[in-house]
Amino acid sequence: MSLFGHGSTDTEPGFLRTFVPILLFTLLCGIVGPIFLVAYYIIDDPTVGWMFYTGLGITILDVVIAFFVARFTYQGKRRRFELEQTGRLGVADVVSVEQTNVQVNDQPMMKLKLRIHGDGIAPFEADKRLVVPMMHLAALNSRRLAVLVDPYSGEFEIDWERTALLSGYAPAKFTDTDTGREFDLSGQSEALMEIMTVLKNNNVPLGGAVDLRSNPVARQQVMDIVRRFGESGAGIDLGKSGGFAPPPPPAAAPRSPSQRLAELETLRGAGNISDPEYQAVRNRILDDL
């Protein structure tokens, strides 16, 4: 089956694996510190003693900055890993969206009011201020986000890759290897929530084509869901063995600016447009707001 999106990973994060790349990047940005230290030991001149203390100070500052950035990043990765391992997969209905007029790395920060619910999750409401990736802005129009929730503490994280499937702007196609029949359940949120829950419970990460032949238990559970929704007419049967014809396509609705921006980000990420073309189209879309 093909489930597009990066999805989750079962690799446990490590602090050193997080700290070392950040430290190297920080030292590169503040390379004047190590340069001063090297210069002090190379130049045989008592008047350059200031280079030692200046270089040492800058280098120590680089290490301290890298440590705190790595600690913050590691805590986020660790929290996500723990939610992936022990949390519940739920749905967050978007009650309201407010712009904050703040951008981080050209990504808008939004204030969301959410109503969160799901199997094993006591429904609750929460306000969350977060940076929304451009390519996932279209998900806010669907008003349904996938979330990982700690059912005991109520702590949660939005899962943008699963949200792409839940919202229908990432394709979800399944092949029954026993019969050769194919099913397209793209946008079938109820079916996809059940399937994503099965994959999560079996520690199967999403991303590209997912082959479940090595996991017969998960494969059987997923195909039971696919057949139930596909053969009931909830999905589109694209199989060779007949069955039923796909329904006629709905009339195309005008795309919102957020959808156009998300499609533009996808094109840029795939390398289908140049940076000048990307900037020109993005400016036109923003002018239409």
Over residues 19-34, the pLDDT tens digits come to 888 888 887 888 888 8
Residue type, 273: I
Distance CA 143, CA 91 (A): 10
Question: Would the pTM count as exceeding 0.75?
Answer: no
Distance CA 271, CA 27 (A): 31
Pick the more confident residue, 236 or 71. 71
pLDDT level of residue 125 (50, 70, 90 thresholds): very high
Pick the more confident residue, 59 or 175. 59
Residue showing tokens 């749905």: 91
Mean pLDDT for 150-163 is: 87
Pick the more confident residue, 221 or 260. 221
Contact (CB, 8 A) for 1 and 170: no
Contact (CB, 8 A) for 238 and 246: yes
Instruction: List residues bridging with 172 in a β-sheet.
Output: 3
Strands (E) across the chain are located at: 2-3, 88-104, 107-118, 121-131, 144-149, 156-158, 172-175, 182-184, 236-237
Token pair belonging to 66 = 């890298």
Pick the more confident residue, 112 or 232. 112
In tens, the pLDDT along 66-123 reads 898 888 888 877 887 888 788 889 899 999 988 888 888 788 888 999 999 988 888 9
